[in-house]
Structure 1
Amino acid sequence: MLRGDYEKGIEQLRRAYLLFPYNETLKHNLAEGYAAFGHQFFKQKKYDKADDNFVKAMELYPEEAIYALLRGICTYHLKKYDVARHELERAHQKQSETVEILYYLGLVYYETNNRQQAVELWEQGLKLSPSRVEFEELLKKARKEMAVEAGMDRGHSSRFDLTYDSGVNAAFALAVLDVLENAANQVGAELGFFPVNRVPVAIYTRADFKIVTDSPEWSGGVYDGTIRLPFGATAEVTPQMRAVLFHEYAHVVIFEMTRGNCPIWLNEGVAEMFGRKEHNRPMGEFRQAIKKKSYMDFRKMESGFSGLTTPDASLAYQQSYAMVNYMVTNYGWHRVNGILSSLGNGMNIDEAVLQSFQDYSITYDTLILEWQKEMEKSFVQAPILVEGD
């Protein structure tokens, strides 16, 4: 195991333990072997395999808090919140002042709409570890949301829990839920994935949306575990709004498929594919970029768009959409789904593209070059080069 051959080491320890089941050293080493193997899978974001190994360690030492903590963290990332809460609460009973337990149990409470309990744990964690800036950031975020949402109304549908500003018409709120249900069916069918957990949605006034999300002025919505929408002053669901709802719901599915391991351009490009089916906007900035060959760098677009000016943000979204549209049109949705699934298994974008396009021997870089040539060819041949212009 020290050489990294965990499977072989664990098998030898397991056989020895079966021969000498009362040997405490063998039992301890086997449990630690499972935990170490699980940690390797965890680092690769292969959470299912990590969880299998943490369970095996727990079977040997059911009362050991560290194994409950490891499994709790792992199942939190798997969005198995009931299991995560059970394991982390068990660990908390045994080690109430362990900072990692306070951090992750707080996250589970937060994600399951128990914000006050989350805040109490994070406050305790901050006292124990004042240098952990994560606690300060989470507390700031949770307190802002609690202050804004204290007087909001609530509703729900089969897949969504809705919180909305008290000034929002109830019929409008129900119409938003109806569109989201349609989005869940269509996006889920295309990507072959349906989230297990209910999805929280919040509708704010534009001012409250800015307070809660601190997003740029051009933002039409945010998904950060909750779909957040600045629709508080709107009375009817317009095509533009349907596009935002489909776009934001697509982020829910992408996040779960990739376990959060998705380049931003791919995330936004896939979301735009669904949003533009509802309302297809002009592609003026992208058209100019092709004309001048002034594309944005996909490598730089992997990390985020939030610092961009409005024109640059428009180009980033349009270029991301154009790339995903190119992949789907020329190679099919299953290639994109393959990339997303590989990312969810811990691959980076280079590995995921190579895996999905292995029968074409296409790499991430050659895919970008191929796309650029096709875009420029389309620009020369026709005034309308991509859908939406």
Structure 2
Amino acid sequence: MVEREPSKLGVAGSNPVSRSRSFHRRTATLRCAQGISGREVARLCRVVLSLLFIIIIIYTATLLAAQDFATHNQRGVDLSAQGRHREAIAELEKALALAPAHPVVRRNLAHAHGNVASSLLQERAFRDAAAEYQAAIDLYSEEPRFHMGLGVALLGLREADRAVESLRWARNLNPKEGQVYRLLGEAYFQRGDMREAVGAWQEGLRIRPGDRDLERLIAQAEGERKVDEEYRRRPGHHFNLRYVGEVREEIGREILQLLERAYEEVGYNLNHFPRQEVEVVIYSDADFQRIMGLPGWVHGAFDERGGRIRIPVRGIKEATDLRGLLYHEYTHVVVREVTGGRIPTWLNEGLAQIEQRTPMDGAVESVRQLAARGKLPSLQNLKDPFVGLTGPEASVVYAVSYAATKYLVERWGLWDIQRLLRRLGEGVSFDVALKETTRLTLADFEREWVTSFGRGE
């Protein structure tokens, strides 16, 4: 019997039973390892498929959102081109919600707000215009036009400090734009800073040499500086009176007393009492002409730009009714504060003449004669400032303004007039405010008023 070599039967030093057990353990371990690997692979496959599915969903949603964003943006651009700026804003806001950081959408939306603001500015809706310009700046602050428009709106609101800040931004963004220096000077002027105002206008002249408007403004500011330095001053409770030396002390005292009475009486009639002190200046005739440049028939003016009542000495000397002159000009102060300047001139001047309480029978009769001859000027043509008129022409338009306003007040009452003025100050157009008050359009009101004249009422 041949004996096998131990090396052929197993590991040296081991027996056949031990070798067999070791083999089975290795085989079981291999099978176990193969089974776990399969489950992990399956699970990994499921995870991968889930991730791919999620990626596909996200990609699809992103693609659809991008398509929606582009659609809303294009609609907004098209609506802006058609002048439908508020509708454009609605579409562009949808685009912005889908792409909040997209620079093109932000610029488009900013310009839409800027276009709305520009329209509001033309309507003298200064507060609403300022809000729209600020919205435009918040979206895209590098456009100088937005800062300049905001400055104009703030000037209209008489917020001079904020106007200066906004107009400085506009100047820094576009230092070659001459108009911004004119407006910046206006802001300084409104703030009472004549030196800075002159400096801004002189800088504008370097950019636009020979600009007569800027030259006029510089001369006016220099005149105001002279007034500040040379005129006497008499402070009151609601007014600050300054007057040239040729006005006697007792006249200055009387003027201030009349103005304080106007504050109470006009304020009661129009239901508004200004909080800020009103500046009143009695000029020498030469200074008045140099600063204001108004025709000789003008005996006084409320300068909305500077917020001052300005009266030449001849206006005091020639006035048959000093009280009426002061009440007239102070009425313009109150109307300006209530309406923000959003009022047709015929109504503004009509209210001022009613408040001055000077007998106007001759004026009413002249209007009646014009109506009888069919020569009455339309109120629609009397909405803009009465500038460039001769004395006789001014007499006609002032008489028509008085007669039409008198009919309005007597027919509907002061309470309705107060409400009409407040609505104008809220930004409502005059046509809408008039219809709310009288249920008439301007054309219908004018027809009714002229008819009443024909009946001798």
Give the TM interval when normalised to the shorter protein. 0.7 to 0.9
Higher mean displacement: 64-73 or 322-331: 64-73
Larger Rg: 2
Out of 306, 309, 332, the residue aligned to residue 227 of structure 1 is: 309
Residue matched to 1:243: 324
Residue matched to 2:164: 85
CA distance in 1, matches of 2:186, 2:429: 26
Shift of 1:108: 1.0
Residue matched to 1:152: 231
Out of 303, 325, 350, the residue aligned to residue 406 of structure 2 is: 325
Equivalent residue letter for 2:346? W
Shift of 1:177: 3.0
Distance 1:373 1:11, change over 3 A: closer
Answering whether residue 151 of structure 2 is matched by residue 68 of structure 1, we say no
Distance 1:87 1:288, change over 3 A: closer
Residue matched to 2:103: 24
SS at match of 2:230: coil
SS at match of 1:162: strand
Q: Structure 1 regions of 5+ residues with no counterpart?
A: 380-389
Distance 1:157 1:93, change over 3 A: farther
Out of 264, 268, 274, the residue aligned to residue 349 of structure 2 is: 268
Shift of 1:356: 3.0
Structure 1 or 2: more helix by fraction? 2
CA distance in 2, matches of 1:140, 1:14: 48
Shift of 1:214: 3.3
CA distance in 2, matches of 1:69, 1:366: 39
CA distance in 2, matches of 1:263, 1:8: 29
* 1:1-389 equivalence runs, <5 A: 1=76, 2-3=78-79, 4-61=83-140, 65-130=144-209, 132-147=211-226, 150-170=229-249, 172-195=251-274, 197-225=276-304, 226-231=308-313, 240-276=321-357, 280-291=358-369, 293-294=372-373, 296-299=376-379, 300-310=381-391, 312-341=393-422, 343-344=424-425, 350=431, 352-358=433-439, 362-378=440-456
Could you list the per-position Cα deviations for residues 326-377 of structure 1 after superposition, in whole angstroms to 9, with x for gaps in the alignment? 111111124434554555566765555334322xxx3323323322333343
Say if 2:129 and 2:153, in contact at 8 Å, map to a contact too.
yes
Say if 1:71 and 1:87, in contact at 8 Å, map to a contact too.
yes
**TM-score normalised by length of structure 1:** 0.80
SS at match of 1:79: coil
Say if 2:299 and 2:315, in contact at 8 Å, map to a contact too.
no
Equivalent residue letter for 1:229? I
CA distance in 2, matches of 1:318, 1:270: 12
Shift of 1:273: 0.9
CA distance in 1, matches of 2:348, 2:218: 27
**TM-score normalised by length of structure 2:** 0.70
Distance 1:260 1:309, change over 3 A: same
Equivalent residue letter for 1:179? L
Say if 1:167 and 1:232, in contact at 8 Å, map to a contact too.
no
CA distance in 2, matches of 1:315, 1:7: 42
CA distance in 1, matches of 2:177, 2:128: 25
Shift of 1:228: 0.8
Could you list the per-position Cα deviations for residues 297-344 of structure 1 after superposition, in whole angstroms to 9, with x for gaps in the alignment? 134444455555545544443332222111111111244345545555
Distance 1:68 1:338, change over 3 A: same
Say if 1:327 and 1:335, in contact at 8 Å, map to a contact too.
no
Higher mean displacement: 117-126 or 33-42: 33-42
Alpha-carbon RMSD: 3.3
Equivalent residue letter for 1:68? H
Distance 1:91 1:217, change over 3 A: closer
CA distance in 2, matches of 1:302, 1:159: 30
Distance 1:17 1:287, change over 3 A: closer
Equivalent residue letter for 1:230? P
Residue matched to 1:385: none
SS at match of 1:262: coil
Equivalent residue letter for 1:333? L
Q: Structure 2 regions of 5+ residues with no counterpart?
A: 1-75
Shift of 1:227: 0.8
Could you list the per-position Cα deviations for residues 42-90 of structure 1 after superposition, in whole angstroms to 9, with x for gaps in the alignment? 2333222222122223334457654333322221122222221222234
Distance 1:24 1:168, change over 3 A: same
Say if 2:125 and 2:342, in contact at 8 Å, map to a contact too.
no
SS at match of 1:163: strand
Equivalent residue letter for 1:254? V
Shift of 1:6: 3.4
Say if 1:37 and 1:53, in contact at 8 Å, map to a contact too.
yes
Distance 1:84 1:229, change over 3 A: same
Shift of 1:207: 4.3
CA distance in 2, matches of 1:49, 1:285: 39
Distance 1:28 1:369, change over 3 A: closer
Higher mean displacement: 62-71 or 195-204: 62-71
Say if 1:305 and 1:313, in contact at 8 Å, map to a contact too.
yes
Say if 1:85 and 1:105, in contact at 8 Å, map to a contact too.
yes
The percentage of aligned residue pairs carrying the same residue is 29
CA distance in 2, matches of 1:181, 1:320: 26
Higher mean displacement: 141-150 or 84-93: 141-150
